[in-house]
């Protein structure tokens, strides 16, 4: 009996020590993205120095190992913002890792993965005690369970068409501000979203995930609400901003650029 109690106590102490040891500030990941993710002059787009990441592969492995070591019971005990920050950082960090498996001989993330699974369905990492794929993080966790459409400007698919990879780690303490800042940069990026030829031309994310922006979250009950809120990011012209706020502009969707978001592209 005493042996069982001692074993249980040791397991509890180990779990407590691990919980105390997890860095919710993501210092190592934060250092890596600060070193290897660069904003372009417009401060709306970023490019990734994958060569730099490759040289720091050992540090990246520390990040991935720390993410993979979190037990589900510990994750479940965290606050909502802690869980969300963890999932966003995990998505972005494992995306960098999967690019490095083929870099520099890669022009698009779509070149990766098997023929019938692709890079997003390939179970190549462990989170919360189970093997998972990138789509699990985005489509089974973040989108349905946290219901914040701004997440689409936070997770990065290593492509130029995607909203920018941030050059800092997401943390619970700053999460709302980081999500809003990411959304504002994305909406203000005229290569992805713009008013032109009397139309609102927007990123295909708004077509693919339209329902996420129409669930009443963050004041959005229909897609046009998003464009009205970010009218000043979408256009510098008062008359176009007024039309956006009046929700009177026709909407079209831009082609998505899947080329790698590497420095120099």
pLDDT tens string 189-242: 999 999 999 999 999 999 999 999 998 777 888 999 999 999 999 999 999 999
CA distance 10 to 174: 35
What is the model's pLDDT at position 1?
52
User: What does the pLDDT read at residue 216?
Assistant: 75
**pLDDT of 264:** 87
Residue 165: both structure tokens together: 């990879």
The pLDDT tens digits for 106-158 are: 999 999 976 566 799 999 999 999 999 999 999 999 999 999 999 999 999 99
Across the chain, what does the average pLDDT equal? 92
Q: pTM value?
A: 0.91
Task: Report whether pLDDT(162) > 70.
Answer: yes
pLDDT in tens, 35-52: 999 999 999 999 999 999
């Amino acid at each position: 009996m005493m042996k069982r109690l001692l074993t249980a106590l040791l397991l509890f102490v180990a779990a407590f020590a691990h919980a105390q040891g997890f860095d919710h500030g993501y210092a190592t990941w934060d250092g890596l993205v600060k070193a290897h993710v660069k904003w372009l002059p417009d401060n709306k787009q970023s490019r990734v120095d994958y060569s730099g990441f490759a040289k720091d592969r050992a540090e990246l492995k520390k990040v991935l190992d720390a993410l993979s070591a979190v037990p589900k019971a510990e994750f479940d005990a965290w606050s909502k913002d802690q869980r969300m920050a963890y999932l966003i950082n995990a998505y972005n960090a494992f995306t960098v890792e999967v690019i490095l498996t083929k870099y520099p001989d890669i022009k698009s993330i779509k070149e990766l993965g098997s023929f019938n699974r692709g890079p997003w369905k390939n179970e190549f990492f462990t989170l919360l005690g189970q093997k998972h794929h990138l789509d699990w993080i985005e489509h089974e966790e973040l989108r349905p369970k946290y219901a914040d459409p701004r997440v689409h400007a936070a997770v990065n698919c290593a492509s130029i068409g995607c909203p920018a990879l941030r050059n800092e780690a997401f943390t619970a303490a700053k999460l709302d501000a980081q999500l809003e800042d990411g959304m504002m940069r994305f909406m203000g990026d005229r290569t992805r979203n713009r008013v032109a030829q009397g139309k609102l031309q927007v990123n295909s994310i708004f077509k693919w995930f339209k329902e996420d922006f129409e669930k009443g979250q963050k004041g959005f009950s229909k897609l046009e609400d998003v464009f009205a809120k970010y009218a000043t990011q979408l256009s510098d012209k008062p008359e176009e901003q007024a039309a956006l706020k009046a929700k009177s502009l026709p909407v079209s969707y831009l082609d998505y650029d899947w080329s790698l978001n590497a420095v120099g592209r």
